[in-house]
Amino acid sequence: MDDSPIDRFWEVDLLRGIAILLMVLYHFAFDLNYFGLVKIDVNSGIFLSLARFTVTLFLLLVGLSLYLSLSRAERLGRQDRFKWRLFRRSAWILALALCITIVTYLLLGRGYIVFGALHLIGLSLLLAYPFLGMGWKNFILGSILIILGLYVPEISVEHFWLLWLGLASPEFYSLDYVPLLPWFGVVLFGVGLGDLLYPGYRRRVTWLDQIAVSGCSWARLLCYLGRNSLTIYLVHQPLIILLLMLDEVLLPGFQRV
């Protein structure tokens, strides 16, 4: 990669593509269990670890990508537009998250998504902005938030208006719950990694400059998925459910577990 600030870092797209694939795999297993097609314990063991690893990777990349976006804007002399673009991006993601809340409430009732991964990402884009110039201090602040998040679930409240923070009543249940504590701490870790690994929108790990992914089909695919992660996030669940419905129609005699 040359010094042009308009280039993307392929490894970031590739890692996001890996996260997308892991998310689809977990949700496919979740849906098989949720609809009673195959009995899979998705709340413990390898699938729980897979879910947590996937969310962690996504949120690290949110913070890292946010740092890269600001660095790129600064190199292009467009830092004055960055705040407005960031606000529009956050508002768009939060609007999509609200749609998910409404749709899951209408379709599922109990367990509908109040504050899931997309809600957190939309809010984190705004909350992380003041931390973009703090460098290594983000690792300290992120660690504090993660540690606090380990204790927040022990606090029981009777109301629901602090769900976004991580405070919930014992009766609260949601299919996707990713509160600010501890997960915003992971976003700050990503911001810190961006400053550490890509100062001034240049790779610190220079040997990555010598790798060309254009000749590797699977790497190109992962990068493509990473560049279109939001679209895939929005459409993958309806497609999985449609696939399961087609299975029910085409294979009605299949033995369910």
Question: Is it true that the peptide bond before 182 is cis, omega within 30 degrees of 0?
Answer: yes
Confidence of residue 251 (pLDDT cuts 50, 70, 90): very low
Could you identify the residue written with the tokens 């602040």?
Answer: 141
At residue 77, the pLDDT reads 86
Domain count, the chain: 1
Q: Note whether residue 147 is domain-resident.
A: yes
**19/55 Cα distance (integer angstroms):** 8
Q: Is the dihedral of CA 121, 171, 237, 216 positive or negative?
A: positive
pLDDT surpasses 60 at 192: yes
The structure tokens 């009543």 sit at 169
Residue 5, in any domain of the structure:
no
Burial call 1-33: b when 16+ CB within 10 Å, e when fewer:
eeeebeeebbbbbbbbbbbbebbbebbbbbbbb
Read off the amino acid at residue 241.
I
Q: Does some domain include residue 4? A: no
1 band by pLDDT with thresholds 50, 70 and 90: very low
Q: Domain of residue 47: give its range.
A: 10-250
Tell the burial category of 113 from Cβ atoms under 10 Å away from its Cβ (0-12, 13-18, 19+). Answer: buried
Counted residue by residue, the chain has a size of 257
- Structural domain contains residue 2: no
Put simply, whether the predicted model's pTM sits higher than 0.75 gets the answer yes
Local confidence band at 6 (pLDDT 50, 70, 90 cut-offs): low
Phi-psi region of 205 (alpha: psi -120 to 50; beta: other; left: phi over 0): beta
Which tens digits make up the pLDDT trace of 116-142? 999 999 999 999 999 999 999 999 999
Any domain includes 33: yes
239 CA to centre of own chain: 19
Does residue 1 fall inside a structural domain? no
Asked if the model's pLDDT at residue 4 lies above 60, the reply is: no
* Residue 257 included in any domain: no
11, 64 Cβ separation under 8 angstroms? no
For residues 192 and 250, which has the higher predicted lDDT (pLDDT)? 192
17-65 pLDDT per residue, tens: 999 999 999 999 999 999 888 899 999 999 999 999 999 999 999 999 9
Instruction: Measure the CA–CA gap between 94 and 88, rounded to whole angstroms.
Output: 10
- How confident is residue 210, by pLDDT bands cut at 50, 70 and 90? confident
Domain-embedded: residue 256: no
